[in-house]
Amino acid sequence: MASRKSTHTSNASVIATAPCRADLAGGTIDMWPLYLFHEGAVTVNFAVSILTSCRVAPRAGKQIHLKSTDTGREEVFASLDALCRTRKYRHPLAAHLVRFFAPEGGLSVETHSESPAGAGISGSSALMIATTAALARYTGRRMDREEIRELAQNVEAQLIRVPTGCQDYYPALYGGVSAIHLDADGIHREAVPVAAEEIESRFLLCYTGAPRQSGINNWEVFKAHINGDRHVFRNLEEIAKIARGMHDALGDGRWNDVARLLREEWQLRRTNAPGITTPLIDKLVNAARRNGGRAAKVCGAGGGGCVIFFVEPDAKERVAEALRKSGGRILPFRVAREGLRVMRTLLDKRT
């Protein structure tokens, strides 16, 4: 990526945070141009209080210091030119974004994610949003939320080298419960009017401990769709229909329909490509069902990561204990009421 010299670099530190998400329906179809082939395509998800963050701070001289506190990866470059000449990075997310924003002078970029690696709750996409926003503010580049989303998505595609969907970036930007409408004239995010407390009382998030690469599973489905696989096309057409129903059911508080649609989505999704489910995922789903769980699906593209479970409020603790005994790790969460937050330290007010 060609670097762009910034016209301004802040003397103050900048901190940005963005939440992860759990997706309920309509995943994979959010990849361009797949959604153009399914009229009324929509994805439905909600932001969770599992946060990512980025801190950008000035350093004396020209040295650039990149650090990921959750992965322990760290690297130092003598200058921006040295960073741009490098072709392999220990912290590629930060390096590619620094190359784009091309800050003047030295700086440090420190990132952190509360999401387990490969959890399928869009930790990388949320971190892309936080880091993009922090560097934009630090270098004085004015970007609205849609511009931040576009840049973050494009750079992430460069990193994983396959197409990326758009849905993961909107919970990070806005928080709350979202319906992302995927239309020929663009992408439109709608806040779904459902109480966060209702979501919190009825859903469990369980990590399988098996990281997965969402881009790989989605890429297999993408290729099959573009190559004219009728089975995949019909499945995604049905998934688009389920997502529209999920949007309506959530907004109306029709929880029986939410459970039914979640089950239907998972049954369809697991037939799209091999490897979407695993023996442990199947074990967890069965354990939840035996203890009062009503529905489940893998977050993201599958193959590991997190599974989201729909339960009745009075069965939540019982299901959680059954999942723990079956080898799952419960990730406590609340619905993140806010999305992206960008703050300057000491000298400037939060905006």
Q: Among all chains, which residue has been given the structure tokens 């290729």?
A: 223
Task: Pull the structure tokens for residue 119.
Answer: 């959890």
- Burial of residue 164 (CB within 10 Å: 0-12, 13-18, 19+) is buried
Q: Please answer whether residues 260 and 294 qualify as being in contact, where contact means their C-beta atoms are separated by less than 8 angstroms.
A: no
pLDDT at site 346: 63
Whether the pLDDT of residue 305 is over 80: the answer is yes
pLDDT digit string (tens) for 258-285?
999 999 999 887 776 666 788 899 999 9
Determine the pLDDT at residue 349: 41
Half-sphere exposure of 171 (CA within 13 A, CB side): 31
Interhelix angle 92-101/123-138, rounded to 10 degrees, is 30
Query: For residue range 232-253, what is the model confidence (pLDDT) as tens digits?
Result: 899 899 999 999 999 999 999 9
136-160: average pLDDT:
96
Structural domains in the chain, sorted by start: 14-191+336-344 (3.30.230.10), 196-330 (3.30.70.890)
Mean pLDDT of 111-134: 95
Q: Are 308 and 299 in contact (CB under 8 A)?
A: yes
pLDDT at site 212 = 54
CA gyration radius, the chain: 20
Percentage of the residues of the chain whose pLDDT score is greater than 70: 91
- Per-residue pLDDT of 55-106, as tens digits, reads 999 999 999 999 999 999 999 999 999 999 999 999 999 999 999 999 999 9
